[in-house]
Structure 1
Amino acid sequence: MSGTPRRSLWRRARRWAVLLLITSLGIVAVLWSLERRLVFVPTSAQEEWLEPEDRRTQDVWFHSADGSKIAGRWLPPETPQHGAVLVANGNGGNLTHRGGLAADLRRATGAGVLLFDYPGYGKSEGAPSESGCYAAGEAAYKWLTDERTISTDRIILYGESLGGGTAVELAATREHRALVLIYTFTSLPDAAKHRFPFLPVKTLMRTRFDNLSKIAKCPRPVFFVHGRADRVVPFDHSERLYAAANEPKEFVRLDGIGHTRLPAELYLPALVSFLNRHAPRPVPAGE
């Protein structure tokens, strides 16, 4: 009789262990199947398509390597010598939500600004994926060099959050003037681990954007911005990227700032100063 309670307790413990295992596996399976929906949060043109903030902005189109039609908006530079900023967006919205950013960059640097949407965003064809983001970024870069004949040493690659992955990929493989990373993560699985610490996301995630393994391959100046109050991408991700990046580099650390659009005055004057100190042929700031 004395063994019966122990056996009963053991059976209950086994049932709870099996239930916990099944529940955990179910959660993992659901997240695995929904990964792309969690990573990419596009806004279609039918949902919202805003007018540009600068009236000089032009709607443009180009094609990625797989033939997908990619939508872009081009705000021309003050002069061709001012070059261009190629902006890779974060994971939400569409390019029309970056009209204010384009206007701020144009005013600060005098450079042209090219916004583009990943596949499945805005008016771009296809479905979003890591490879699709890279292909769209490559197509945008090619449009600048081929259609607008922008010299490669005058192209600034600007990546915002998820867009940092596309910008780093381009910076590791294409000539450019400088790389700008705004609250960018070391890798997407690292960022997901912060949100889901109890799940094996580093093993299971198919979408990687492994910036930490690529940043040392980026040979040009690198400028980082990150808010210490960021609750989406932890501040230490930029610290680690900064430590791994080549010189020259600069890190603007912002107290009290989270994962949101940054007011221009918090970092653009420092960016212009950085570009003028380290670019091969400095150009004057904008008006």
Structure 2
Amino acid sequence: MNGLSFSELCCLFCCPPCPSRIAAKLAFLPPEPTYEFVSDENGKCSFTLTDRAEWQYSEREKENVEGFFTRTNRGNRIACLFVRCSNTARFTILFSHGNAVDLGQMSSFYLGLGSRINCNIFSYDYSGYGVSAGKPSEKNLYADIDAAWQALRTRYGISPENIILYGQSIGTVPTVDLAARYEVGAVILHSPLMSGMRVAFPNTKRTWFFDAFPSIDKVPKVMSPTLVIHGTEDEVIDFSHGLTIFEKCPRAVEPLWVEGAGHNDVELYNVYLERLKQFVNVELIN
């Protein structure tokens, strides 16, 4: 999330813009695409990565990754990725990634995470990210996760009770929106934000009509077991956001507050993997 200039702050106060303008200023930083989908004569896509994707596994392990396109109800063609990490996985994670990354950069992380916690991982690129068409916007974000959800359900036949929704940073926004409408196996909110205005102006106490990403108002409708994860030294989305989201979750489980962690390094702490294993393989099974 990039800082706002003085003139942008004045605009927010003097003539509040529409939510999509706030969203664009606060959140969307799509990188140069680090992958492409190449279709053969049968329409099957192969997933090819650039060096910037930093794939950490062998070429053979890339065979566990399937890429394809689906279309949103707003007309954008978005890229989806299914990473088969385990033949015995009960759960599939529908992962909504953070801001300045795309599926190529996340692919190694997905394979490593899924293998360690015995889950398959399904992910997608937001409109305007990677090889997904369109432009990033708040409305597109909600349409994007809807299309990913439908693709996961229909293409792979996975039922809602075996799906875990995982959102990281800006990815918690579509995750909360979907989780407020569908009951699923579980929800994981990693460095969540309450709303766009509350990130830009920490003293904001209510949701204004022009606010973007009002997750704080949707979280009370999430009826699935919810794990909240946040670094106590988060320099992008203050730790208070995670605390408040946790307090508003009707079915929150024991959260993970990572002492000393910032916004982009929570995964480097051992407690991160330990808590996920406990949640997925013990708490959800029992």
Task: Answer yes or no: same fold by TM over 0.5.
Answer: yes
- Supply the distance in 2 between the matched residues of 1:212 and 1:26 (Cα, whole angstroms): 24
Partner of 1:162: helix, strand, or coil? helix
Compared with structure 1, are the counterparts of its residues 177 and 231 closer, same or farther at alpha carbon in structure 2 (3 Å cutoff)?
Answer: same
- Supply the distance in 1 between the matched residues of 2:8 and 2:276 (Cα, whole angstroms): 48
Instruction: Establish whether residue 93 from structure 1 lines up as the match of residue 98 from structure 2.
Output: no
1:214-233 to structure 2, matched below 5 A, reads 214-233=218-237
Partner of 1:234: 238
Compared with structure 1, are the counterparts of its residues 26 and 188 closer, same or farther at alpha carbon in structure 2 (3 Å cutoff)?
Answer: closer
Partner of 2:41: none
Compared with structure 1, are the counterparts of its residues 128 and 200 closer, same or farther at alpha carbon in structure 2 (3 Å cutoff)?
Answer: farther
From 147, 152, 162, the counterpart of 2:160: 152
Instruction: Establish whether residue 163 from structure 1 lines up as the match of residue 171 from structure 2.
Output: yes
- Supply the distance in 1 between the matched residues of 2:102 and 2:227 (Cα, whole angstroms): 24
- Supply the distance in 2 between the matched residues of 1:231 and 1:138 (Cα, whole angstroms): 30
- Supply the distance in 2 between the matched residues of 1:218 and 1:23 (Cα, whole angstroms): 33
1:87-113 residue CA offsets vs partner (Å, 9 max, x unmatched): 111222222221233123211222211
1:40-83 residue CA offsets vs partner (Å, 9 max, x unmatched): 11113279762654522122211111221001221024237523
- Supply the distance in 2 between the matched residues of 1:24 and 1:166 (Cα, whole angstroms): 25
Partner of 1:256: 260
Cα deviation, residue 176, structure 1: 1.1
Compared with structure 1, are the counterparts of its residues 107 and 38 closer, same or farther at alpha carbon in structure 2 (3 Å cutoff)?
Answer: same
Partner of 1:186: 194
Structure 1: 5+ residue runs without aligned partners? 1-21, 283-287
- State the TM-score, normalizing by the size of structure 2: 0.79
Compared with structure 1, are the counterparts of its residues 24 and 170 closer, same or farther at alpha carbon in structure 2 (3 Å cutoff)?
Answer: closer
Partner of 2:184: 176
- Supply the distance in 1 between the matched residues of 2:25 and 2:88 (Cα, whole angstroms): 39
- Supply the distance in 2 between the matched residues of 1:268 and 1:29 (Cα, whole angstroms): 45
1:157-202 residue CA offsets vs partner (Å, 9 max, x unmatched): 00001110111111111231100011111112111113xx7x9996
Instruction: Establish whether residue 42 from structure 1 lines up as the match of residue 30 from structure 2.
Output: yes
Cα deviation, residue 28, structure 1: 5.3
- Supply the distance in 1 between the matched residues of 2:123 and 2:189 (Cα, whole angstroms): 15
- Supply the distance in 2 between the matched residues of 1:101 and 1:272 (Cα, whole angstroms): 16
Compared with structure 1, are the counterparts of its residues 164 and 24 closer, same or farther at alpha carbon in structure 2 (3 Å cutoff)?
Answer: closer
Cα deviation, residue 260, structure 1: 0.4
- Supply the distance in 1 between the matched residues of 2:32 and 2:156 (Cα, whole angstroms): 27
Compared with structure 1, are the counterparts of its residues 200 and 152 closer, same or farther at alpha carbon in structure 2 (3 Å cutoff)?
Answer: closer
- 8 Å contact kept, 1:86–1:113: yes
Instruction: Establish whether residue 116 from structure 1 lines up as the match of residue 124 from structure 2.
Output: yes
Cα deviation, residue 23, structure 1: 10
Partner of 1:78: 86
- State the TM-score, normalizing by the size of structure 1: 0.79
**Percent pairwise identity:** 25
Figure out how many residues of one structure are paired with residues of the other and give that number.
256
Compared with structure 1, are the counterparts of its residues 266 and 41 closer, same or farther at alpha carbon in structure 2 (3 Å cutoff)?
Answer: same
- 8 Å contact kept, 1:80–1:150: no
Counterpart amino acid of residue 123 in structure 1: V
- Supply the distance in 2 between the matched residues of 1:46 and 1:220 (Cα, whole angstroms): 34
Instruction: Establish whether residue 265 from structure 1 lines up as the match of residue 270 from structure 2.
Output: yes
- 8 Å contact kept, 1:83–1:151: no
Compared with structure 1, are the counterparts of its residues 24 and 193 closer, same or farther at alpha carbon in structure 2 (3 Å cutoff)?
Answer: closer
Cα deviation, residue 27, structure 1: 7.7
Counterpart amino acid of residue 50 in structure 1: A
Compared with structure 1, are the counterparts of its residues 205 and 232 closer, same or farther at alpha carbon in structure 2 (3 Å cutoff)?
Answer: farther
Cα deviation, residue 211, structure 1: 1.3
Partner of 2:33: helix, strand, or coil? coil
